[in-house]
Amino acid sequence: LFSTGESSKMMQQNITLPYTSKLGAPFVAGQSLNITGNTNADTKRFEVNLLAGGTEIGAAQAYMHCSVRFDEGKLVFNSYTDGAWAKEERESLSFTKGDTFNLRLRVLEEGYEVRCNGEKVHVFKHRKPYNEVEYFQVKGNCTLSNVHWGGKFYEIPWETGFANGSLKAGQRIFMYGAPTGDRFNVDLIARNGDILFHFNPRIPEGKVVRNSCKNKVWGQEEREGPFPFKKDCGFDLTIVNEPFSVQLIVNGEQIGTWAHRTENPTEDYIGMRVQGDVDVFGIEFSEAQ
C-alpha cells in the first residue's frame, strides 16, 4: 500500500500470539491501531497493550491496557506505571465468542478512542504522554487476521490528486471513517472539475446516492442497494476502479457497481474529494493489482 503521506504499518495473514510490534515512529494524534481477528467458542480473554520501556508488563510500563473479558462480559481499561496498576475503567462487552471482531484504538489529544465493530465504546484519557509509546501488543486466546496502524487527522473538506496522475485500472481506494451527521460524499473528479463519480450516503433517507456532474449538470441518480451506514458508527469503504465499472465495497460486502460515465476511466479520474458530515480516520491507495 501507499498512503497519503502519513506513516503506516500493515501486517496481514494469520498472526501468532502473543504479537508484539515496535512502532517505527512515535504515535501522533489521529493515528489508529486497527485489529481484526476471530475469537474461539472457549475464548475467555485477550488483551491489547500500549507499552513503553520493554515488551512485558512489569519491566515495561503499560500506558494503556485493554482487557477483553468474555468471562465477565466487560472491556477493562487500565494503566501500569511506576510499578503499580492504577484505577480500572469498565465498559460492557459487545463482542460475541466465536465471531469475527474488529477493535480500533484512535489516538486523540485527550485520550485513546476505542471502537468495537465500529461502535465507539470508550475514551481512555491519557495517563502518560502517548508519544512515548514504543510497542503495541496483543496477547490471549484469539486469532488475528490483520493488524494495521496509521492514519492522521483529515480536515474536511479534503482533496487529493492520485499518484501517477490518475486512478489506474485495478487500483483501490481504502477509506475508514464514521458519519457525524445526515450526509457526506466521496467524489472522483476530472481535470476540468467535473464530478465523474459522486458517492453520497444519506442517513435520513437510508440511501446511497450515486451520480455524476458534467458541465455543472447532474446526471441520472442511482439509489438501489443496501445501506450499511449509521451515524457515529465506523465504516470501511473500498472503491475499486475496474475496466467497465467502479466496484463499491463497505465493511467487506459489495453494495453496488457504478458503470463508468467517462470514456477513459484509467486516465480521467485524477483526484478525489471528501465533503460533508464525516470523520475520516484513514485513507490509503493500493497499487494496481
Q: Is the pLDDT of residue 161 over 50?
A: yes
pLDDT of 70 strictly over 70: yes
The vertex-246 CA angle with 188 and 272, nearest 5°, equals 15
Q: Are strands 61-69 and 271-285 parallel, antiparallel or unpaired?
A: unpaired
C-alpha span between 60 and 255 (Å, rounded): 45
- By CB neighbour count within 10 A (0-12 exposed, 13-18 middle, 19+ buried), where does 37 fall? buried
Predicted confidence band of residue 2 (pLDDT cuts 50, 70, 90): very low
> Is it the case that residue 284 has pLDDT exceeding 50?
yes
pLDDT (tens digit per residue) in 188-236: 999 999 999 999 999 999 999 999 999 999 999 999 999 999 999 999 9
∠ CA 114-116-122 to the nearest 5 degrees?
35
* d(C-alpha 225, C-alpha 29), whole Å: 36
The least confident of 65-69, 82-86, 144-148, 270-274 is 144-148
- Residue 268 vs residue 2, higher pLDDT: 268
Lowest mean pLDDT among 58-62, 145-149, 213-217, 228-232: 145-149
Conformational region of residue 73, where left means phi above 0, alpha means psi within -120 to 50, and beta covers everything else: left
The mean pLDDT of 34-49, rounded to a whole number, is 94
Grid coordinates given for 48: 491489547
What's the pLDDT tens digit per position in 258-283? 999 999 999 999 999 999 999 999 99
Which pLDDT tens digit goes with each residue over 91-124?
999 999 999 999 999 999 999 999 999 999 999 9
pLDDT of residue 8: 46
In this predicted model, what pLDDT tens digit does every residue of 4-35 receive, in sequence order? 334 444 444 568 899 999 988 899 999 999 99
- Mean pLDDT (the chain) is 92
In whole angstroms, give the CA distance from residue 60 to residue 83. 9
Write phi, then psi, for 131 (nearest 5 degrees).
-80, 0
Rg (CA), the chain: 20
Residue 146: its pLDDT value, please? 85
> For a pLDDT cut of 70, what percent of the chain falls above it?
94
In the predicted model, is pLDDT for residue 180 greater than 50?
A: yes
Distance of CA 140 to the CA centre of its chain: 23
Residue 14's pLDDT is: 66
- Determine the average pLDDT of the residues in 231-255: 95
Give the domains, in start order, of the chain with CATH numbers: 2-150 (2.60.120.200), 158-285 (2.60.120.200)
Cell 457526506 locates to 184
Q: Are 76 and 90 in contact (CB under 8 A)?
A: yes
Residues 6+ apart with CB under 8 A from 194: 212, 213, 214, 215
Of 10, 87, 18, the residue nearest 46 (C-alpha): 18
Q: What is the pLDDT of residue 288?
A: 67
Averaged pLDDT for residues 138-145: 93
- 250 CB contacts (<8 Å, ≥6 apart)? 228, 229, 235, 236, 237, 238
Contact residues for 14 (Cβ-Cβ < 8 A; gap 6+): 143, 144, 145
Distance CA 252, CA 250 (A): 5
What pLDDT is attached to residue 7? 40
Spatial CA neighbour of 186 closest among 64, 273, 281: 273
Q: Strands of 165-234 (E only): list them.
A: 172-189, 195-202, 207-214, 217-218
